[in-house]
Amino acid sequence: MKNSDLPLIDVAQLRIGMFIHLDIGWMAHPFPLSSFKLTSADQIATIRKLGVPQVRWAPEKSDPDPAEVAAYQRVFGERLATIPVSSVKGALGHCLCGAGGIEAAITALAVARQMVPPTAGFAEPDPACPIDPVPGAGRAWPIGVALSSSFAFGGNSAALVLGKVP
């Protein structure tokens, strides 16, 4: 995917862990690269001072949304670290309006095949995100039910719980 194909996000919505691309020339910003993961509030403040209203971001290279992780922690508590949580966005990119349907189909296949898909492009765990991200390769797992969640732009959210037919 070319950087110009990445979705835009308002700079007010930036958070640590997002992988972004600055469309402005390399001499117009103080960062060593135009594409990088945000690692500090200072970086976000610097971007906001540049006066650009939006930047491009790569959801598949970004850390999970803290609100999503918090929701999983509320539901699963201490068990969360033992439950495989994978994302196919790194393999597919962001399909915008079609993403939820594709992810639901993959979840249904995972339940039918008893195989958790891997999280493509996973590099290293975030200590603030206590999940088992299924890095590298898919994993056989006894799946009774699976959750497919879609958190979209503008606050549009949906969750499907899929299970085996008895």
CATH number at residue 130: 3.40.47.10
Residue 153's pLDDT band (cuts 50, 70, 90): low
E strands present in 85-138 = 115-116
Average pLDDT, the chain: 81
**Contact yes or no for 119/148 (Cβ under 8 A):** no
CA dist., res. 33 & res. 13, Å (int):
21
Highest mean pLDDT among 12-26, 47-61, 117-131: 47-61
From 20, 36, 61, give the residue that closes a domain.
61
**Residue 30 and residue 111 share a domain:** no
More confident residue, 100 or 77: 77
**Residue 72 and residue 56 share a domain:** no
pLDDT at residue 46 greater than cutoff 80:
yes
CATH number at residue 28: 3.90.105
**Residue 74 and residue 155 share a domain:** yes
**Residue 83 and residue 27 share a domain:** no
**Residue 158 and residue 105 share a domain:** yes
Q: Give residue 140's pLDDT.
A: 96
CA dist., res. 131 & res. 79, Å (int):
9
**Residue 44 and residue 82 share a domain:** no
Structural domain that includes position 88: 66-163
**Residue 88 and residue 70 share a domain:** yes
Q: Give residue 68's pLDDT.
A: 76
Count of domains forming the chain: 2
**Residue 55 and residue 72 share a domain:** no
